[in-house]
Structure 1
């Protein structure tokens, strides 16, 4: 039995060698691709909403961390007969004032005040002074107007009231005498200092540029949308817009928008094009909520060739003893058309070249090649050596394998995109949400390095940057 198998295998090998020896060899001229140049294509920008929300509690926590201990000191008792030290006595609270249609920050600062007051005169070079010291507890209430300048929220704070826990007084000539007339004028000495301290602390705590830039860096890092097709989505910011910051309830809301280019690339993970040093903040009055996104789906000819080779796998063209199969496919650009190089084996061995213009059929959701035909040299060689292969019926069968529906690709693309629009978190405190209403294929553009399909997506995308972590 083993001997029989060996003889059978040997005979099959001989038949195969004879078959290969008698197959026609075709030597066609290769249409050289256009010179490679940097990939340049027409692109339409997209817009993504970037609402920044910051809780007042976050501002409060950061302000308390920045403003601690002794916050004011005046030791020049000689000039005004008073020496003052002011400490933050307890944590600061920051709330929304809700003053009618105007919303301001209300800051409540519990404080401890130490006052040294000088009583007496100086006559004939003799100092006739006595000193009294007071330790008082009170609460300062401040209100702040808010505006946005250069990535920071700035406040203009004004002291509204100072309430003492007990009325300041001292014993003078055996009597308990209120000293409000002494203390309250002293407030003016440290009032501007306290207001400035609050403004400086809030400004430092409200520098949200690092948070936004870090979030943008994560968003603009290409991420894989489909492992099956090795497709990657890359976002490249062009401009950042922002509206006036608004205080709503217990939250600061800053509507931002990003003008960007969105690309889908096939193959290995592409490099990011994000450069934080080029980000400029531009003020606008309104950010659109409904956005139209244009995505450039870029497929290099090398990657497209791999996919096309898979499409031809197992396909045989012809019949009887006149048939070929395609072993490999290569694509490149030539004079505004796409060259399709087929490496065939069978009754004819060698390379045959076709060319056509890729088009999109909206009804069938498929890519096809208009005016697909053998290039001139290939056609001449086939007519002389394998006219059956040059016939239109074989070309139509090959043409059928060069068509493929992208309906499932559009649906899969939409499904993949939705996974990144449902509370996707590229980093803590950053949330991506949105909806997709429709995906429309627009056009195909050929470059020297890739085939680019432009897709128009209707919907909305919001990237919420929450907090000051």
Structure 2
């Protein structure tokens, strides 16, 4: 009986030792990553068309905001024998001039004016002057040829008519006396002053450059495209182009284009690189009507490792009772190659290292690793301890798990970007609309700490100004 117990105990110990040796441990040398350096990559400029429309109502709003109360004053009677003060009595109205199809605006200005007109001579040092003060209360209609150049609206105004609410008067012996017959000829003398005051006011109030630069700053602030993947889109402007504006119906239309670089970042929100002082504004005669955007998608190796680990989840490699499961994946860069570290459990425990070149298949729209093979030290140790794992068949199966389609990513990216092309308002009164026609994957570039994917986007963008403050 004791002999039987000894044999049984020996058998259990043998099975235990056998079970311990059936999972072989492998200790391989880790290919050290290249030294980390600042992220520098080849950036292809993009050209984005941004047609701008500004409604006349917004021009009217801005003009009224700046012209209030006393809008013109000339206290020097010595230069032309006229002193003048003009007050705005009610809001100015600005509309398209229906009598001119070439693009001009009609401005109606309700005003009150006090004009001092000096008549006389100066002889032998003796001044023989007589000054008359005229009071006006009426409505001036002006017609202006307009242009919008270098982001500033300028006008060339002519007084078309002056309709009196009350007859122009002057004070004689303390009483207001109508002097319409005297005032109408006098209009010719000071009408140029009224015209110039309107031109100066519109010129001062209608500088759109600060508004445009503020809108561009808002657009260039990195914004979250996908919360799950923490992906951010960043636009960095280089140059801004614009054509002269044209007036159509009740709207100014101006073609604008922006030369910029674009990139997507994975992880925390990147800092904005926008600097208005470095923006160059260039006048041009014509701008293409399509977007041609080259977007760089930046994925750090740490983030790429997380995605690859998900791809290997639940997968087993091998046959029969010789199998491994991948528990974790780490990726880094070494001598222009990708190193893929697989932490495995099963018939072999430890870490095996693969190397290969990331490539893109334009037909299947898949990323894959070309010339994928075990790192030299890993291969030597597998041949000695687990030759079945070193065989090409299992390596090819592992390689299949390192291949994945980017079609869902492209579609998800288009869907995320469209949120910012459907009446997106980066600031009050500015609305962005557009469309994306197609997205083309271009190439992959490796840096010491990230994978850079280059994507080309074609489409159109429209920026409307409505209710500008």
TM category (shorter chain) comes to 0.7 to 0.9
Higher mean Cα deviation, 282-291 or 89-98? Answer: 89-98
Residue equivalent to 2:382: 382
Map of 1:17-416 to 2, 5 A cutoff?
Answer: 19=19, 23-73=23-73, 84-98=84-98, 100-115=100-115, 134-165=134-165, 168=168, 179=179, 182-184=182-184, 186-187=186-187, 190-416=190-416
SS of 1:263's partner is strand
How far apart are 1:123 and its partner, in Å?
A: 12
1:16 and 1:161, CA in 2 relative to 1: closer, same or farther beyond 3 A? farther
Alignment partners' CA distance in 2, 1:315 and 1:79: 94
Q: 1:9 — aligned with what? A: none
Counterpart Cα distance in 2 of 1:103 and 1:457: 36
Partner SS, residue 307 of structure 1:
helix
Partners of 1:446 and 1:122 in 2: CA distance? 87
Do the aligned partners of residues 109 and 326 (structure 1) sit closer, same or farther apart at CA in structure 2, a change above 3 Å counting? same
| Contact 1:151–1:281 (Cα < 8 Å) also in 2 | no
In 2, Cα distance between the equivalents of 1:123 and 1:373? 108
Deviations 1:293-348 (A, max 9, x none): 22222211111011111111222222344222212111111222111111122222
Superposition deviation, residue 122 in structure 1: 11
Segment of structure 1 superposing worse, 353-362 or 206-215: 206-215
Whether the 8 Å CA contact 1:243–1:283 is kept in 2: the answer is yes
Distance 1:111 1:438 in 2: 56
Matched, 1:422 2:426: no
Mark the CA change 1:400 to 1:107 in structure 2 (over 3 Å): closer, same or farther. Answer: same
What is the CA–CA distance in structure 1 between the aligned matches of 2:464 and 2:435, rounded to whole Å? 14
* Runs of 4+ residues over 6 Å off in structure 1: 15-18, 76-82, 117-132, 169-172
Q: Distance in 1 between matches of 2:221 and 2:253?
A: 25
Q: 1:375 to 1:72 in 2, by over 3 A?
A: closer
Single out whichever of 385-394 and 79-88 deviates more from structure 2. Answer: 79-88
SS in 2 for 1:350: strand
Q: 1:124 to 1:240 in 2, by over 3 A?
A: closer
**How high is the TM-score relative to the length of structure 2?**
0.85
Higher mean displacement: 365-374 or 51-60: 51-60
Distance 1:381 1:119, change over 3 A: closer
**Cα distance between partner residues in 2 of 1:88 and 1:277:** 37
Alpha carbons of 1:272 and 1:110: their partners in 2 closer, same or farther (altered >3 Å)?
Answer: same
**In 2: Cα distance, 1:443 partner to 1:340 partner:** 20
What is the Cα-based RMSD across aligned positions, in Å? Answer: 3.4
Larger mean CA deviation between 311-320 and 181-190 belongs to 181-190
For 1:375 and 1:46, locate their aligned partners in 2 and report how far apart those are by CA, in whole Å: 39
Structure 1 counterpart SS, 2:314? coil
